[in-house]
Chain A
């Protein structure tokens, strides 16, 4: 049984489909990377898993299960018991994600108290343990600190401590390093991966950083305009991308532009609510698009573990097959 399984998950805001029929699984101990441009629905889909989409947003799915339990039909209260304990999440901007009015200790202990309970002393000891675990020096004195007294990297460590407080089975990390300095980014990722291995958690790592995904993820999902356009084992997807979009993403990496004057870039932006094209959503930006692409939306092709949503998937030389 998969840890997390979703089938045809959609999130709509009025007429706008922010997430459009996506399906994936996360197994225990697996790192799943989700990549894509801003506005491709990465964050929204993860918020939907956490049950944090508010009115007017509407979440629908054929299947949305955690360890076999149906998250959709589950009573609100029971679902809250899972969120924060078995499924935890860390966010993009640690500086604004901690409540400025409460101490670090209060916020960590609150998470523990909500799901596990225990005496004041036990909770405090546990909070200190957690801070030590995420590599915060002098954790005892940090408990009484307010978020504004912490640096960005320190705040993200606190966020991670809070997320792993109740030993989650699944951790969703939504661009955990985007708001941090480059030097701190590596530390935070190392910490996350170390914790993931130690606890055998499932980790959904949402990021812009393709190099990072290539390095740590077992499987990768590439999202574009709310849809999954390509998925598969990380090494394969990056070695021979089958979708033109993935190819373009990889080409835009500075590493691929060695010796060139300019970085490769895909012209245009992700379509929004009012400029959604007919047919394949990438067709206006795709260098290989045909008339067929512009009229008919492609289906997912290939075996379940290596899918691509394209009429003319790329071959190993990076050219359209047909």
Chain B
């Protein structure tokens, strides 16, 4: 097993190098001179330009610049934002917990509903239940996220008044930023009503963000279960006189989960890397909203660093999926 994990880890390094090369090249392909962009309308003298270029290292050959850049990354330095002048890494770390919190809740929602729905649809295939699950998941999958968000907001926040419209917590609470996770911080603050306010702010965004993953998971689980339920070993299990629920949950699900885990992993990767639309609609201060705003402000270091971080997150999630794969599937664990 350790050998397996080690092998997977060693594959991460070339992927990471590829990403740094890509982001670096992309930024250098953007037309225009960064110093002139920084100087603004007034422009700079030739001497000042040369001085700044030397200061920023822009007079160096490209490969030197690249190694400087990678060196910076390895030390956790992604440069400073052109707008706020804060380090990109610091901005990211402040905003990331909000995205993580939302993603986890969305993922839990998606898995808790999608997985059982898929299993039942497969077990009761061809019934009205199966057809309704498939119809709902197809609808969920094809629904434009922003429209779905607005629809839910209109019904539950505006008409029924059950949930707040946007933000992470009600403005009347002032919560110290201890962990960055509103649920935990509001709980720790001990203020009456703060925790339930944080929860109610999370509900709609989680549902909206979790809808597509839920649909994908339900469909994948169903088709994977259907395939597994026809396997010979399921017949063997039944011939042993095992209770039907045990045949499904122990014998079938374990095998059916293998492709489903990939799908869950990919979906979680997408969620973590910034749910741009959801965060924008619900004014959720996460990295999706941050990236969108920095693009419109032409804040290149933030965009460059942000893309790198997002890519890294996806690599890490994929690595975890690979490892989870090995845990679930002995054939992969033992393969060389």
Binding site for B on A (CB under 8 A): 47, 50, 52, 80-85, 88-89, 91, 93, 96-102, 110-111, 114-115, 146, 148-149, 159, 162
Contact = CB atoms under 8 A, between A and B. Distances in A.
A99 B239 contact: no
Contacts, number: 70
A98 B235 CA distance: 10
A101 B231 contact: no
B31 to A, nearest CB: 55
Which has the most chain A C-beta neighbours within 10 Å: B237, B251, B334? B237
A109 to B, nearest CB: 11
A215 to B, nearest CB: 26
B239 A50 contact: yes
A189 to B, nearest CB: 20
9 contacts: A47-B235, A84-B240, A84-B242, A91-B232, A96-B231, A97-B236, A99-B233, A100-B330, A101-B254
Contact of A88 (B238, B239, B243): B239
A88 B235 CA distance: 12
B331 A96 contact: no
**Interface size range on B against A:** 20 to 34
Contacts of A99: 233, 236-237, 251, 254-255
A176 to B, nearest CB: 13
B196 interface: no
A111 B247 CA distance: 12
- Residue of A98, A100, A148 with most partner-chain B CB within 10 A: A100
Nearest to A94: B232
A90 to B, nearest CB: 9
Given A84-B241, A84-B242, A146-B334, A101 B236 contact: no
A100 B251 contact: no
B10 to A, nearest CB: 25
B241 A101 contact: no
B120 to A, nearest CB: 16
Interface string B239-253: 111110000000100
Nearest to A146: B330
B240 A111 contact: yes
B21 interface: no
A81 B241 CA distance: 6
Contacts of B236: 91, 97-99, 159, 162
Contact of B233 (A80, A81, A96, A146): A96
Name B's interface SS.
helix
A313 to B, nearest CB: 37
Contacts of B334: 146, 148-149
Given A52-B238, A102-B254, 19 more contacts: A52-B239, A80-B243, A83-B240, A84-B239, A84-B240, A91-B236, A91-B239, A97-B233, A97-B236, A98-B233, A99-B236, A100-B330, A101-B330, A102-B251, A114-B240, A115-B241, A146-B331, A148-B330, A148-B334
Interface of B: 231-233, 235-243, 251, 254-255, 328-331, 334
Nearest to B231: A96
A159 B254 CA distance: 20
A84 B247 CA distance: 13
A102 B242 CA distance: 15
A149 B236 CA distance: 19
Contacts of B232: 91, 93, 96-97
Contact of B239 (A83, A101, A115, A149): A83
Contacts of B254: 99, 101-102
Contacts of B329: 100-101
A47 B235 CA distance: 9
Nearest to A88: B239
A149 B335 CA distance: 11
A193 B152 CA distance: 68
Nearest 9 A/B pairs, CB to CB: A84-B241, A84-B240, A83-B241, A96-B232, A99-B233, A146-B330, A97-B232, A80-B241, A101-B254
A123 to B, nearest CB: 14
Nearest to B253: A101
A85 B241 contact: yes
A53 B302 CA distance: 62
B248 to A, nearest CB: 13
Interface centre among B240, B242, B255 (most CB of A within 10 A): B240
